[in-house]
Structure 1
Amino acid sequence: MIRGLNHITFATRDLAGSFAFYTGVLGARPLARWDEGAYLLLGDVWLCLSLDPQSLPPATSYTHLAFDVDPADFAAMRQKLHDAGAREWKTNRSEGASVYFLDPDGHRLELHEGNWQSRLDHYRQNPPPGMVFYDTVETPIVPDASPQTEK
């Protein structure tokens, strides 16, 4: 059973501009930023910005909506999607179980059983190049080569 919205990911051709818009204009709280993306909170909604210089209309980019699923329900929901003939559009390569699928109109959707905290915990142990963690808007926490602990 779907529990609600998990996160929203928007592809962007200009990460710096999008980051500035969401944090400066909309008041999103920055959680992390790296060379190819950023994690933000809009209220309690987790928003990911993903750098995609060739992004076209959303139907051809990484932009998608993710629905939150209880881990106990994940396998059954995945099977329901399979039984319904939903096409998968991406293979999961990130932390937490996910299935990426298309709805009948081709909208890109995801079922995910993690959250922004588990994703950040994962990246604190394995940060991608250029990732910066934010304690507050004013204080970036820059990772070094060792696993991260907040200072």
Structure 2
Amino acid sequence: MGITGLNHITLAVSDLARSVAFYTDVLGAVQRTASARSAYLELGPIWLCLEATDALTPRADDTHIAFSCAPAEFARLTEHISAHAPLWKENRSEGASLYFLDPDGHKLELHLGDLASRLAHYRDHPEKGVQVLP
């Protein structure tokens, strides 16, 4: 048997309390554990671990984590997040997206859509040069 899903995501953070506040207050995460060096948060089905570090290395590429929300919540969340986080990229993909940074510069995205909608988009737009495989 192969991989069955995403287990958890760990992000290194420079100020644990500040990051916990961002993820709980701005993104609505529920804090599940607390220690001097880490915190476990729950964001819908996602288990997110924030781990304090003294050696944070920001990435210069487009590597990021994309979160989903209900379509009816997208506008409200976009407005709320935009008021509390800097944006790092304009949306150029299928579906509505907001690209924002957490306090340590981790690149995040709020995205409407799923893999099925992305594949349908590429099927409908062969000029984009993406081959959808069976």
Question: Which TM-score band applies after superposition, normalised by the shorter structure?
Answer: 0.5 to 0.7
Q: TM-score, length-normalised on structure 2?
A: 0.56
The alignment partner of 2:103 has SS state of coil
- Encode CA deviations 1:69-116: one digit per residue, 9 max, x unaligned: 1110001111111222x1110000111110000000000000001001
Amino acid of the structure 1 residue aligned with 2:114: N
Q: 1:102 and 2:101 equivalent?
A: yes
Structure 1: runs of 5 or more not aligned: 1-26, 28-41, 46-56, 136-151
Task: Tell me the residue number matched to 1:63.
Answer: 63
* Alpha-carbon distance between aligned partners in 1 of 2:91 and 2:109, rounded to the nearest angstrom: 10
Superposition map of 1:1-150 within 5 A: 43=4, 59-84=59-84, 86-127=85-126, 128-129=128-129, 131-135=130-134
Aligned partner of 2:83: which letter? D
* More strand per residue: 1
Greater relative contact order, per chain length (Cα 8 Å cut-off, separation 6+): 1
Percent of paired sites with the same residue: 49
Shift of 1:134: 1.7
Normalised TM-score (structure 1): 0.50
Structure 2: where are the runs of 5+ without partners?
7-56
Which secondary structure state, in structure 2, belongs to the residue aligned with residue 133 of structure 1?
Answer: coil
The total of aligned residue pairs comes to: 82
CA RMSD, Structure 1 to Structure 2 (Å): 1.9
